């Protein structure tokens, strides 16, 4: 066993990268669920974002435009879910699952001509002065821009839900849509906007995989990341701060166990491999679980 081969600075830096796609998808789904909608189509929206982002990035030569394309692609797929569940009143669970299957198939079709193509690289930012701080600099301030965009989105969502009037309305709709409707709030409009925001974030998470973390387009490349994101939302008790902790915990332990394996750690590989899931469950048990939004998953009938 040679633990000296593990560079703790690189380990902590890669933790942030590993957590970013899950964090982006999860923060979008958190907003959706706080509005009272359960969208199980995160995986489908992520993979659609991955392929849209890749196609736009390759076509334009700009990773930034790729991420914008991914957000639009994810939001468009989410709006389909929104239309079906909010206006045609279809079952949210069934529609979400269908969205995942649809997204996987659609992305495979769209990405057919893009297998084996290299996307434009997204260089790491070396933030002046901050990036030069010993230890902390390489860990926190030398990443690609999307790591910081992800953190900003989490911060913005936290502030939006906690301090803004619009955030209060969104939470009210999620807690009791009938009461919110009685007060004159447009429940369907609020939920549609939340759903589209969730889709855009999932798209960004998917594009992070195809443009930064892997970086290439491969069919089915999200490989369950969307389901992890859904679990992280519940783990976080629908709170953005806890969500950040959950994503970093899961991403961090995943990276750590791979490092420990490579270093020849004397812990059986089976235990190391299940450690990200185990750690998440243990922390969830220790932390006091929050209550789900009151109207989560319930269909809203304006006529009632």
Partner 1 sequence: MMKSLLTGATFALGLTTAAFAQDETTKIGFIYVGPVGDGGWTYEHNQGRLAVEEHFGDAVETVFVESVPEGPDAERVMTQMALDGADLIFSTSFGFMDPTINVAGKFPDVKFEHATGYKQADNVSVYSARFYEGRAVQGHIAGQMTESNVIGYIASFPIPEVIRGINAAYLQAKAVNPDVEFKIVWAYTWFDPAKEAEAATVLIEQGADVILQHTDSTAPQAAAQAAGNVATFGQASDMAEFGPYPRVSSIIDNWSPYYIARTQAVIDGTWESTSTWDGIAPGMVGIGDITDAVPAEIKASAEAMIESIRSGDMHPFTGPINKQDGSVWLADGETASDYGDDGLAGMNFYVEGIVGDVPQ
Binding range to partner 1, per CB under 8 A, among 74-82, 106-114, 170-178, 185-193: 106-114
Q: What number of chain residues touch partner 1 (CB under 8 A)?
A: 41
Residue 114 vs 141, nearer CB to partner 1:
114
Smallest gap from residue 293 Cβ to partner 1 (A)? 30
CB 274 → partner 1: shortest distance, Å?
8
Rule CB under 8 A: say whether 110 interacts with partner 1: no
Would you say 89 or 274 has its CB closer to partner 1? 274
Closest-CA residue to 259 (of 19, 13, 11, 18): 11
Please give the Cα distance from 119 to 55 (Å, whole number): 9
Show the binding pattern over residues 113-142: x = contacts partner 1 (CB under 8 A), - = does not: --xxxx--x---------------------
Query: Minimum distance between the CB of residue 212 and partner 1, rounded to whole angstroms?
Result: 10
Q: How far apart are CA 70 and CA 296, in angstroms?
A: 27
Considering only residues 218, 234, 275, 277, which one is a binding residue for partner 1 as defined by CB under 8 A? 218
Q: How far apart are the C-alpha atoms of 271 and 264, rounded to whole Å?
A: 13
Q: Which is nearer to partner 1, 158 or 208 (CB)?
A: 208
CA distances, 14 to each of 166, 261, 301 (Å): 35, 16, 46
Distance (Å, rounded) from C-alpha 144 to C-alpha 215? Answer: 13
Query: Of 4-12, 83-91, 164-172, 178-186, which part binds partner 1 (CB under 8 A)?
Result: 4-12
Of 222-241, binders to partner 1 (CB under 8 A) are 222-225
Q: Is residue 216 involved in binding partner 1 (CB under 8 A)? A: yes
CA distance 266 to 304: 62
Tell which one of 186, 188, 213, 298 touches partner 1 (CB under 8 A): 213
Q: Is the Cβ–Cβ distance between 210 and 119 less than 8 Å?
A: yes
Nearer to partner 1, 176 or 216 (CB): 216
Tokens 């879910």, residue located: 81
Helix (H) or strand (E) holding 58: helix 42-60
Residue 90 CA to its chain's centroid (Å): 24
Q: Radius of gyration (Cα) for the chain, nearest Å?
A: 20
Distance CA 18, CA 144 (A): 12
Binding mask 63-92 for partner 1 (x = CB under 8 A): ------------------------------
| φ, ψ of residue 20 in degrees (nearest 5) | -60, -50
Question: Rule CB under 8 A: which of 251-290 touch partner 1?
Answer: 254-255, 258-259, 261-264, 268-270, 273
Give the relative orientation of helices 42-60 and 8-34 as an angle to the nearest 10 degrees.
120
Q: Which residues bind partner 1 (CB under 8 A)?
A: 5-7, 10, 14, 18, 21, 104, 108, 111-112, 115-118, 121, 209, 213-216, 218-225, 254-255, 258-259, 261-264, 268-270, 273
């Amino acid at each position: 066993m040679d633990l000296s081969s593990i560079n703790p600075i690189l380990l902590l830096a890669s933790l942030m990268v590993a957590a970013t796609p899950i964090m982006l998808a999860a923060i979008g789904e958190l907003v959706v669920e706080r509005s009272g909608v359960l969208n199980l189509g995160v995986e489908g929206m992520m993979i659609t974002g991955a392929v849209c982002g890749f196609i736009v990035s390759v076509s334009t030569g700009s990773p930034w435009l790729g991420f914008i394309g991914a957000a639009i692609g994810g939001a468009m797929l989410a709006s389909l879910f929104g239309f079906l569940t909010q206006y045609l009143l279809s079952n949210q669970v069934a529609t979400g699952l269908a969205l995942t299957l649809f997204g996987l198939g659609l992305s495979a079709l769209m990405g057919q001509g893009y297998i084996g193509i290299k996307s434009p690289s997204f260089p790491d930012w070396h933030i002046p002065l901050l990036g030069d701080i010993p230890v902390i600099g390489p860990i926190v301030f030398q990443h690609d821009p999307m790591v910081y965009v992800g953190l900003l989105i989490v911060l913005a969502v936290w502030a939006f839900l906690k301090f803004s009037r619009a955030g209060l309305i969104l939470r009210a709709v999620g807690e009791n849509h009938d009461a919110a409707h009685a007060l004159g709030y447009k429940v369907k409009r609020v939920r549609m906007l939340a759903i589209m925001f969730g889709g855009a974030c999932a798209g960004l998470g998917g594009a992070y995989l195809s443009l930064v973390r892997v970086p290439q387009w491969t069919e089915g490349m999200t490989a369950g990341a969307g389901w992890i994101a859904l679990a992280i939302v519940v783990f976080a008790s629908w709170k953005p701060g806890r969500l950040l902790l959950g994503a970093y915990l899961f991403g961090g332990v995943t990276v750590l166990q791979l490092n420990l394996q490579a270093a020849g750690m004397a812990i059986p590989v089976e235990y190391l491999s299940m450690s990200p899931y185990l750690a998440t469950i243990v922390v969830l048990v220790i932390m006091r679980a929050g209550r789900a939004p009151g109207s989560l998953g319930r269909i809203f009938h304006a006529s009632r």
